[in-house]
Amino acid sequence: MVPKWMGPITEWANLLETVNYSGYNMIHFVPLQKRGVSNSPYSISDQLSFDDDVFDAKDQKKSNKERLAVVKKAIGNIYSKHGILSLSDVVWNHTSNSTEFLLHHPEAGYNLHNSPHLVPAYELDTALIELSGQLEQLGLPVDIRSEQDADVIIEYIRENTIKQLKLYEYKVIDVAKQADVIRKALKDRSEQSSHPTVYHDVYSMDIKKRIALFGQDVIVNGHLDTRFHKTVHVSAALSFLLAFNKIKSLDEVSDDQVDDLVESFKNLLNDYNLPLYEEYDEECKVALENIKGRLLFTRLAENGPKLGRISKSNPLIESYFTRLEDPKGKHPKGSMMLANNGWIWNADPLKDFAGPDSSAYLRREVIVWGDCVKLRYGQSPKDNPWLWQHMREYTEQVASMFHGIRIDNCHSTPIHVAEYLLDAARRVRPDLYVLAELFTGSAERDNDFVSRLGIHALIREAMQAWDTHELSRLAHRHGGKPVGSMDEDMVWKVVPYECDEKKKVLAIPITSGSMPRALFMDCTHDNETPFQKRTAEVCF
């Protein structure tokens, strides 16, 4: 049931009578918490407050504590009067982009200060938004009427926008600048601590091993939000360089050898940079493919939103970032640019796609929810104490009112975060019923989540079936025991024990393992409606 469509809680009685008459034993309420600007119940702007439309005019004037009591009493009455249990969602992955606490605690999200690896993705995102407002004056299509129109824009992005951004500078090392550093060290003999013997066999190494060792010992990473942030550890660089050229010590280097050694060092740097350039080229290729794919879907596809004319306010891409103003200028630079949440096709649910080991935002792989800022928990409460405390209070509040919870986007919730918050919820309500929206793409991974989190049932959707055979398979898999099937108790047999007819025992059939229980839904809020998907054409 969707509270925003139900009117004030004081007027729910007739609706609940219908639910009771229909024989339901549990109601799933989508979130009652305060919604953000998109008005989606799953884009919550205040986790600890309920939306105004849950209350009548009289109750809207009450304090937050009094409102909580009103909702708690109403939910309790559903059970005491009708014997119907209640369940509601917990949304742990993200918060609305209009959430007030982001102005005070931007560290709760992935921003350009605490996640500087996102800076290249942010620059590309910003450049594409700016380009959206310039298409007409550049003679580029603003109304996408064919794939060819999209190709024209993509070609411009490839040949102009991306080349002008030079985002590879965030990956590679500046060869000329670092070569000058080594030239100076060779001429000045300023690094007497070099020990070429450490790398005595480096000249005979396989090039991949040599590059790996060079990167490990010689390259020093700086601030990731700075172009050409990588430098060299001069002492290690000299040791590596001399050993590579079979020179035993810096004292053996004559002035005539300096130029050749610098060229040799440039070659080492270029060897180090090459796979990074290749990685960058692949990222740009994938990004362009994804930009085109989303452009065609959002502007042309029959099942897409058909967003219409491109402009700066209606850009050719869906922005990956929420850009907030720092009202008092008290936060570090970049703190108010926060990554939006979303999902990725066939992604590993245990991998943080906004983390430093992922380039999903630069590759434009995220199908983004523009109204939701992704929350950054880290590995423990020590990494983000305010956020962990806030979300724990939210979870405890939901658990105190409802008999069960549904974990929204469980597959993209860090599993250690879910464990922590479920522990908090179960301390409030030990018999809490836990339902999860879990789509990992793997039965083994599903079982891992279910066993670690103690999930009672998973959401499964009939609308995911692409044909009648698949629908039949899903129905058999998730539909429970067929009507009229024999109970296991009925196949127990009394048999002789050790061939002695006087000794009788029960032969109990071995029970095989079972898969997680499922709530098999005809249609959920995430699915197309039957009118859209189960058309007459499907029958033929």
455, two tokens: 């999930």
Catalytic positions: 408, 411, 526
pLDDT at position 270 is: 98
Residue 339 three-state SS = strand
Is 60 exceeded by the pLDDT of residue 236?
yes
Query: Which band of pLDDT confidence, cut at 50, 70 and 90, is reported for residue 183?
Result: very high
Q: Read off the DSSP letter of residue 242.
A: H
pLDDT attached to residue 249: 83
Model confidence band, residue 485 (pLDDT cutoffs 50, 70, 90): low
In this predicted structure, what is the pLDDT of residue 520? 84
pLDDT of the residue at 476: 83
**Residue 288 above 60 pLDDT?**
yes
| Chain CA centroid to CA 206, Å | 38
Res. 506: pLDDT tops 80? no
User: Is 101 in contact with 108 (CB distance < 8 Å)?
Assistant: yes
> In 133-257, which residue ranges form alpha helices assigned H by DSSP?
147-156, 162-165, 175-188, 207-217, 234-244
Whole-angstrom CA distances from 311 to 259, 360, 395, 485 are: 53, 25, 40, 61
The CA distance from 26 to 457, in Å, is: 14
Angstrom distance (rounded) from CA 256 to CA 360: 48
For β-strands 26-29 and 219-220, DSSP reports them as unpaired
Question: Nearest Cα to 405, choosing from 459, 359, 341, 354?
Answer: 459
Residue 156 has pLDDT above 80, yes or no: yes
pLDDT band per the 50, 70, 90 thresholds, residue 329: confident
Q: Which pLDDT value is given to residue 460?
A: 85
One of 3.90.180.10, 3.20.20.80, 3.40.50.2020, 3.40.640.10 is the CATH number of 3-96+378-481+520-538, namely: 3.20.20.80
The DSSP code sequence of 467-510 is: SHHHHHHHHHHHS-SPTTPPPGGGG-EEEEETTEEEEEEEEPPP
List helix spans (H) across 83-206: 101-104, 119-132, 147-156, 162-165, 175-188
Q: What is the mean pLDDT of the chain?
A: 91
**Range with lowest mean pLDDT among 106-110, 177-181, 193-197, 460-464:** 193-197
pLDDT tens digits, one per residue of 349-372: 889 999 999 999 999 999 999 999
Task: Give residue 480's pLDDT.
Answer: 73
> Does the model's pTM come out above 0.85?
yes
Per DSSP, what are the bridge partners of residue 208?
none
Boundaries of every domain in the chain? 3-96+378-481+520-538, 97-121+315-374, 143-308
Instruction: Spell out the SS3 assignment of 245-302.
Output: CCCCCHHHCCHHHHHHHHHHHHHHHHHHHHHHHHHHHHHHHHHHHHHHHHHHHHHCCC
Q: Sort 411 into a burial class: Cβ within 10 Å, 0-12 / 13-18 / 19+.
A: buried
Cβ within 8 Å of residue 279, ≥6 positions away: 171
**Does the structure show a pLDDT above 60 at 193?**
no
Rounded CA separation 525/40 (Å): 11
In angstroms, rounded to a whole number, what is the distance separating the alpha carbons of residues 54 and 9? Answer: 5
Does residue 309 surpass a pLDDT of 90?
yes
pLDDT at 513: 61
pLDDT tens for 240-281 read: 999 999 988 888 888 889 999 999 999 999 999 999 999 999
Over 70: is that where the pLDDT of 192 sits? no
Q: Given a cut of 70, is residue 487 above it in pLDDT?
A: no
43-47 average pLDDT score: 97
Which candidate, 127, 5, 42, 26, places its Cα nearest to that of 78?
A: 26
**377 pLDDT exceeds 80?**
yes
Among 194-203, 374-383, 426-435, 481-490, the minimum mean pLDDT is found in 481-490
Residue 446: pLDDT over 70: yes
pLDDT range class, residue 195, cuts 50, 70, 90? low
CA distance 136 to 142: 6
Residues 471 and 204: their CA atoms lie apart, in Å, by 61
What burial letters (b/e) apply to 255-289, b meaning 16+ CB within 10 Å? eeeeeebbebbeebbeebbeebeeebeebbebbbe
Taking residue 344's Cβ as centre, other Cβ atoms within 10 Å add up to: 16
476 contacts: CB under 8 Å, gap ≥ 6? none
Q: Which residues have CB under 8 Å from 301's CB, separation 6+? A: none
- Which of the residue ranges 26-40, 345-359, 522-536 has the most confident prediction, judged by mean pLDDT? 26-40
**Which percentage of the chain shows pLDDT scores above 90?**
73
Which residues have a Cβ under 8 Å from the Cβ of 173 and sit 6 or more positions away? 219, 228, 230, 231, 232, 269, 272, 273
Phi/psi at 7 (nearest 5 deg)? 80, -175
d(CA 287, CA 295): 12
Residue 512: pLDDT band by 50, 70, 90 thresholds? low
